[in-house]
C-alpha cells in the first residue's frame, strides 16, 4: 500500500513508519502545532521541510524551528526501529489495524504512534478498559482500594490501565495481575529503559502478561512535562478514569480532567475527610465526577446497559421480617420497663384489641414478655435491634 503526499511523490507504508519514528525524535508528545502541520501539509512535506530546510512551518518561531532542525539532524529512525525490535517492541501508527481509534479524539495532540511491548492486540484490549490512577505517595487505604478495585475489574473482564508509577499505579497493576487479569502500563519514557527503576520487575511482568506502551523512542528519559502529557493517552485510551487518592496538585487529576474533556467517565474513590491525599478526589466529586467504591460501581457506569451494581443496604435484622403493624407495636415498647396495652396502642396509632393481638404474636416469636398488666422487651429483642442473633 502507498500514500501520496502534497508534493506528489509516492510514499510507501514503510517510509511512513520510519517518518513517524523520525518525528518521535523531533516533536515532543502532544505537540498540537506539529499535529496541525501533519493535518494541513501531510507527513512527507513535514519530513522534507525538517530534513532539507527551507522556510519554517507556520506557528514556529525561528528559534524553535532551528531547534527542531537540530533534532532532525540527530534522528536515526532505522536505528531506533532496530533497537526496539531487538527488545521485542513494535511501533504502531494511526494507519495500523492495531491502532486504538479512540486516540483520534485527541485531535492534533494525537500521538504520532505508539511503541508497544507485549503480545495482545492493543486496539482490542482498549475497547474494554478502565484507567485507575492516583497518588504516588499513597496511604495503606489508598493502596488497598486500588488493588481491590483493579482485581474486581479484572475478574469482570476489564483491562486495567495505569502509568506504572509508585503508589496507586503500581497497586492497580498488581491487583489486576494478581487476579489473573489484563493490565496496560503507559510509560513516559523509552520502553527499553522503564521508569521508575524500582518498578523494573513489575513493568517486565506487565509486558509478559499484558502490554507496556509509550510515545517516546528507545532510550528517551522521562521529564515532568512528559508525565503530564502521557496522562492524556491514559484518558483517551480508556472508557473512564478512576482516581484513588490525589492531593490538590496531583498529576492524576490531569488525567481525570482530560477524560472529562474527552467525554469519558470520570470517577473518584472517596477517602477520609481529614486526609490531604484525598482532597483532590473530593474536589472532583464536588464537580462532575461520580463516586465509586468498588468494581461493580465502575462497571455500572462504563459497562453495557444492564450491568448494574447490586443494591446497597445494611444487614437485615430479624425485626425487618415482621409484618408492618407488628413492627409498629414493637417500636412502641420502651427500652426499659413495662407498658400497658392501652398506652402501646396509642403510641402505635392502633386499637387496643389490635395491639394486644400483635403483642401475643411478638411474645410467640420471643420479642416481648408479659409482666402482670404490662409488656416489656426481652433481652433477645434488644440484641436483635442491635444486629445480634435472632430471638426466634
Q: What is the DSSP string of 301-316?
A: HHS-TT-PPPPP--PP
- Please tell me the distance from the alpha carbon of residue 219 to that of residue 247, in angstroms, as a whole number: 31
Question: What's residue 312's pLDDT?
Answer: 57
Average confidence (pLDDT) over 346-357 = 88
User: Could you read off the pLDDT of 198-242 as tens digits, one per residue?
Assistant: 999 999 999 999 999 999 999 999 999 999 999 999 999 999 999
Q: How confident is the model at residue 13 (pLDDT cuts 50, 70, 90)?
A: low
Supply angle C-alpha 251, 257, 134, rounded to 5: 35
DSSP assignment letter at 320 = G
DSSP assignment letter at 76 = -
Pairing of strands 374-377, 339-340: antiparallel
Q: Decide: 177 and 151 in contact? Cβ < 8 Å.
A: no
Q: How confident is the model at residue 254 (pLDDT cuts 50, 70, 90)?
A: very high
Q: Decide: 153 and 125 in contact? Cβ < 8 Å.
A: no
| Torsions phi, psi for 165 (to 5 deg) | -85, 175
Domain residue ranges in the chain: 8-75, 101-302, 318-385
- Please tell me the distance from the alpha carbon of residue 367 to that of residue 361, in angstroms, as a whole number: 9
Unique residue bearing C-alpha cell 482530560: 258
Question: What's residue 356's pLDDT?
Answer: 86
Supply angle C-alpha 2, 27, 242, rounded to 5: 100
In terms of average pLDDT, the best of 7-21, 274-288, 360-374 is: 274-288
- Does the pLDDT at position 253 exceed 90? yes
Which CATH number applies to 318-385?
1.10.10.10
| Average per-residue pLDDT for the chain | 89
Q: How many CB atoms lie within 10 A of CB 86?
A: 10
- Please tell me the distance from the alpha carbon of residue 100 to that of residue 117, in angstroms, as a whole number: 15
- Does the pLDDT at position 386 exceed 80? no
Task: Please state which of the four CATH numbers 3.40.50.450, 3.40.190.10, 3.40.228.10, 3.40.1410.10 is assigned to the domain occupying 101-302.
Answer: 3.40.50.450
- Please tell me the distance from the alpha carbon of residue 389 to that of residue 318, in angstroms, as a whole number: 8
Least confidently predicted of 1-5, 199-203, 264-268: 1-5
Question: What's residue 315's pLDDT?
Answer: 55
161, containing H or E segment: strand 159-162
Average confidence (pLDDT) over 24-52 = 95
Question: What's residue 169's pLDDT?
Answer: 97
Supply angle C-alpha 68, 73, 79, rounded to 5: 115
- Please tell me the distance from the alpha carbon of residue 287 to that of residue 267, in angstroms, as a whole number: 11
Q: Is 136 exposed, middle or buried (0-12, 13-18, 19+ CB in 10 A)?
A: middle
DSSP assignment letter at 289 = P
Q: Identify which has the larger pLDDT, 263 or 317.
A: 263
- Does the pLDDT at position 387 exceed 60? no
Question: What's residue 318's pLDDT?
Answer: 61
Least confidently predicted of 230-244, 295-309, 334-348: 295-309
Question: What's residue 207's pLDDT?
Answer: 96
Q: Decide: 168 and 135 in contact? Cβ < 8 Å.
A: yes
DSSP assignment letter at 57 = P
Q: Decide: 49 and 68 in contact? Cβ < 8 Å.
A: no
| Torsions phi, psi for 195 (to 5 deg) | -135, 140
- Does the pLDDT at position 4 exceed 60? no
Q: Is the peptide bond before 208 cis (omega within 30 degrees of 0)?
A: no
SS3 80: helix
- Please tell me the distance from the alpha carbon of residue 369 to that of residue 360, in angstroms, as a whole number: 9
* Total residue count of the chain as it appears in this document: 392
Average confidence (pLDDT) over 341-359 = 88
Amino acid at each position: 500500500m502507498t500514500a501520496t503526499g502534497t508534493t506528489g511523490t509516492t510514499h510507501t507504508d514503510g517510509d511512513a513508519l520510519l517518518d513517524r519514528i523520525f518525528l518521535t525524535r523531533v516533536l515532543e508528545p502532544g505537540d498540537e502545532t506539529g499535529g496541525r502541520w501533519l493535518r494541513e501539509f501531510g507527513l512527507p512535506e513535514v519530513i522534507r521541510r525538517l530534513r532539507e530546510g527551507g522556510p519554517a512551518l507556520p506557528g514556529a518561531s525561528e528559534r524553535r524551528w532551528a531547534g527542531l532542525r537540530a533534532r532532525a539532524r540527530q534522528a536515526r529512525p532505522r536505528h531506533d526501529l532496530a533497537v526496539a525490535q531487538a527488545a521485542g517492541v513494535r511501533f504502531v501508527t494511526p494507519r495500523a489495524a492495531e491502532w486504538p481509534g479512540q486516540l483520534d479524539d485527541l485531535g492534533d495532540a494525537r500521538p504520532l504512534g505508539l511503541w508497544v511491548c507485549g503480545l495482545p492486540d492493543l486496539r482490542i484490549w482498549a475497547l474494554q478498559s478502565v484507567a485507575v490512577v492516583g497518588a504516588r505517595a499513597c496511604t495503606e487505604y489508598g493502596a488497598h482500594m486500588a488493588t481491590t478495585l483493579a482485581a474486581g475489574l479484572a475478574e469482570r473482564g476489564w483491562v486495567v490501565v495505569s502509568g506504572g508509577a509508585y503508589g496507586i499505579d503500581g497497586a492497580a497493576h498488581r491487583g489486576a495481575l494478581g487476579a489473573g487479569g489484563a493490565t496496560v502500563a503507559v510509560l513516559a519514557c523509552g520502553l527499553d529503559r522503564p521508569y521508575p527503576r524500582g518498578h523494573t520487575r513489575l513493568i517486565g511482568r506487565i509486558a509478559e502478561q499484558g502490554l507496556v506502551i509509550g510515545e517516546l523512542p528507545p532510550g528517551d528519559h522521562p521529564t515532568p512535562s512528559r508525565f503530564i502529557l502521557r496522562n492524556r493517552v491514559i484518558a483517551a485510551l480508556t472508557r473512564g478514569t478512576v482516581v484513588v487518592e490525589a492531593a490538590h496538585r496531583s498529576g492524576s487529576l490531569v488525567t481525570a480532567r482530560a477524560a472529562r474533556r474527552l467525554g469519558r467517565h470520570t470517577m473518584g474513590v472517596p477517602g477520609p475527610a481529614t486526609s490531604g491525599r484525598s482532597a483532590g478526589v473530593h474536589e472532583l466529586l464536588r464537580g462532575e465526577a461520580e463516586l465509586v467504591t468498588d468494581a461493580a460501581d465502575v462497571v455500572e457506569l462504563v459497562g453495557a446497559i444492564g450491568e448494574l451494581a447490586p443494591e446497597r443496604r445494611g444487614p437485615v435484622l430479624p425485626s425487618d421480617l415482621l409484618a408492618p403493624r407488628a413492627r409498629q407495636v414493637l417500636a412502641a415498647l420502651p427500652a426499659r420497663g413495662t407498658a400497658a396495652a392501652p398506652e402501646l396502642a396509642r403510641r402505635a396509632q392502633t386499637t387496643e384489641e389490635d395491639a394486644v393481638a400483635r403483642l401475643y404474636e411478638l411474645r410467640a416469636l420471643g420479642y416481648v414478655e408479659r409482666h402482670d398488666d404490662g409488656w416489656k422487651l426481652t433481652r433477645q429483642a434488644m440484641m436483635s435491634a442491635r444486629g445480634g442473633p435472632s430471638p426466634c
